[in-house]
Amino acid sequence: MPPETSTPATPATLFGTDATRTRAPLAPAELRVDVAHAARMYDYYLGGKDHFPADRDAAEAALLALPTLRIAARQNRSFLLRATRHLTEVGIRQFLDIGTGIPTSPNLHEVAQTIAPDSRIVYTDNDPLVLAHARALLTSVPQGATAYLDADLHDPDRILTSPELHDTLDLTRPVALSLIAILHFLPDDHDPYSIVRRLMDALPSGSYLALTHITVDHDRESVDAAAEVYRQRGIPVQARSIDDIERFVDGLDLLDPGIRLVHHWRPDDGVPPGLTDAQVSVYGAVARKL
C-alpha cells in the first residue's frame, strides 16, 4: 500500500476541465485556526502536517483519553482503500464521497482509477482547509473525472441538486456513497438516519453505501472520554453501538462479512497482526441498494 502523505496546500482558485471539475470561483470560507477542527485532528493522527496548535492540543488530549486513536485512524483509512477497491472491482464507476477531509494519498479516486480509469468521483466537504487542498482531489486521469463540492452533510438536498454532482455523475447509474468517519459527528438530534436515507433514496438500484463509525462496544470508558474532549472543543460526537449502526443500513443488502470492526472487514496485508478490537473501535460496512 502506498505511503499515506498529506498533499501540500495550493490556492483555492479552481477551474475545471473534462477530467477535473469544480465550480469557480468558490466563495472563500473563514479558516479558524484558533479552534480545533475534526479533519485537522484526523490529519494529525495520520501523521500529516495540515493542522494548527489548537488541533494538536485537542488531538493530544483525545489521545490521553484514547491512546489508540492513531491506530483507529489508520485502520479506518485502510478500510476506505479496501472498500473502494472492492466496489471498483465489482463494477462501480461512480463515487460520491462526503466528508472527504484533507487529501491523504492514496485518495479515493487514485484507488478507483488505478483499477478503472473511467471512474468518476465527487468529493464533498465544507472545511476551508479542505477547499484549499481541493486541487489535489482533482487530479483525475483523462478517462475519468473528479469534482469538488463545498457542501455540508447536514444539507443533503444541496448536495443532490448541485451542478458539481450532476455535471460529473449520472444518477441513473449506480453510485457508491462513501460516508467514512463522518456519521459519528452527527448526534441523534441532527437526524443522521434521515440524512442517509435521503441520500440513498436519490441513488438508483445497484448503488452502494460504504461507511465507518466509531463505537463504544469494546472500550466504552475510553471512547466516551475521547468523545468528551471533542465536545468540549465544540465538535459534536456520538459514538454508537452496533445496533445503532445497523439502522444506517436498514433495507440494504449487507455485503459479507457484514458490519465488522474495520480491521476484520476483508483484511489484507495493510492490517497488522495482533490488533485488538478495543484498539480499533471503529465499525465498517458496505451495503447494496436492491
Tell me what the pLDDT averaged over the chain comes to. 90
Q: How far is CA 150 from the centre of its chain?
A: 14
Q: What is the pLDDT of residues 100-141, one digit of tens each?
A: 998 888 999 999 999 999 999 999 998 888 888 877 788 899
Which ranges of the chain does DSSP label H, i.e. alpha helix?
Answer: 38-45, 53-65, 69-89, 108-115, 128-132, 156-160, 163-168, 192-201, 220-232, 242-246, 277-280
Distance CA 285, CA 249 (A): 9
Give me the pLDDT at residue 26, please: 45
Check residue 134 and give its pLDDT.
78
Q: State how far the Cα of 253 lies from the Cα of 285, in Å rounded to an integer.
A: 11
- The predicted-structure confidence for 71-106, as pLDDT tens digits, reads as follows 999 999 999 999 999 999 999 999 999 999 988 889
Give me 244's grid cell: 445503532
**Residue 12's pLDDT band (cuts 50, 70, 90):** very low
> How far apart (Å, rounded) are the C-alpha atoms in residues 191 and 97?
19
Q: Is the pLDDT assigned to residue 197 strictly greater than 90?
A: yes
The CA radius of gyration of the chain, in Å to the nearest whole number, is 18
Q: Please determine, for residue 260, whether its predicted confidence score (pLDDT) is greater than 70.
A: yes
Per-residue pLDDT of 147-189, as tens digits, reads: 999 999 999 999 999 999 999 999 999 999 999 999 999 999 9
